[in-house]
Amino acid sequence: MIFTPEQYVKAPPIDSSYKSESGIGFEDLSGECKRCGKPTNNFRGFVTEHPNCVEVRFAGVCHPCKLITSYHFRIYEDGRIMTNKDDGWYNIDTKSTWYSRFVNKIKNA
């Protein structure tokens, strides 16, 4: 994960769309500030392909809050999205606002 401004600056810019050879991916990557909920931008991070999923670790900047928000999740070939927390991987409730928009973008990728 990207936690500090130094880690953010060192991470490469991340493309807003990605599709693996197996067809797993996303279009129009987006994020929301964890403080104010407004869109973040200037994404930097990493995409790692696994046999049955794509792992995405990235961060974006909320300029009004001057805050970097980090994201870490896996997109599986069956459509599930899981996020990593301190004690393991958890299914994401895709009914939440940001994730529901993101899931629609994945399905259309």
Task: Note the pTM of the prediction, 2 decimals.
Answer: 0.81
Give the pLDDT score at 49.
94
Distance CA 3, CA 18 (A): 23
Q: Distance between CA 103 and CA 78 in Å, rounded?
A: 12
> Strands across the sheet with 53-62, in order?
41-49, 53-62, 67-76, 81-85, 88-91
The per-residue pLDDT for range 4-22, each reduced to its tens digit, is: 899 999 999 999 889 998 8
- How many domains does the structure of the chain reveal? 1
Q: What is the mean pLDDT of the chain?
A: 85
Domain residues for the domain of 86 are: 5-107
Give the tens place of pLDDT for each residue, 40-80.
Answer: 999 999 999 999 999 999 999 999 999 999 999 899 988 88
Residue whose pair of structure tokens reads 């991916």 in the numeric block: 25
